Amino acid sequence: NAGVMQNPRHLVRRRGQEARLRCSPMKGHSHVYWYRQLPEEGLKFMVYLQKENIIDESGMPKERFSAEFPKEGPSILRIQQVVRGDSAAYFCASSPGTGENEQYFGPGTRLTVT
């Protein structure tokens, strides 16, 4: 059973470009969480999605950031007009359903904005 997949593993963007981060949850998991880890910090919750629905986006910046989890295909975290402060590791986690206690994390995407 493959784990949570994230791609790309490393992404370099110039200021003002767009970044698209992809996450494929574990097989059978329909709940996806995105977290961001800034240098020397813990992981911070950004958004929680189920198939075709955003359940909680309270941790996501109001501007430039968006997320989706379509019926078919991976979940996408999209950052428009990136700035240097967006440089971080972005982790996706999945769980089988509401009430499941453990979230299983992917290897992360390291975004560098130059």
Partner 1 sequence: DQQVKQNSPSLSVQEGRISILNCDYTNSMFDYFLWYKKYPAEGPTFLISISSIKDKNEDGRFTVFLNKSAKHLSLHIVPSQPGDSAVYFCAARNSGSNYKLTFGKGTLLTVNP
**Given 12, 41, 51, 80, the residue binding partner 1 (CB under 8 A):** 41
Closer to partner 1 at the Cβ: 19 or 49? 49
Closer to partner 1 at the Cβ: 17 or 29? 29
Rounded-to-integer distance, Cα 39 and Cα 84, Å: 13
Count of residues that interact with partner 1, criterion CB under 8 A: 29
Give the pairing of strands 10-13 and 109-113.
parallel
Name the minimum Å distance from CB 90 to partner 1: 10
Query: What is the DSSP-derived secondary structure letter of residue 87?
Result: -
Closer to partner 1 at the Cβ: 72 or 101? 101
Cα distance from N-terminal residue to C-terminal residue, the chain: 37
Name the minimum Å distance from CB 107 to partner 1: 5
Is 101 among the residues that bind partner 1 (CB under 8 A)? yes
Name the minimum Å distance from CB 71 to partner 1: 21
Distances (CA, A) of 41 to 37, 93, 106: 6, 18, 18
Name the minimum Å distance from CB 84 to partner 1: 21
Q: Is 35 exposed, middle or buried (0-12, 13-18, 19+ CB in 10 A)?
A: buried
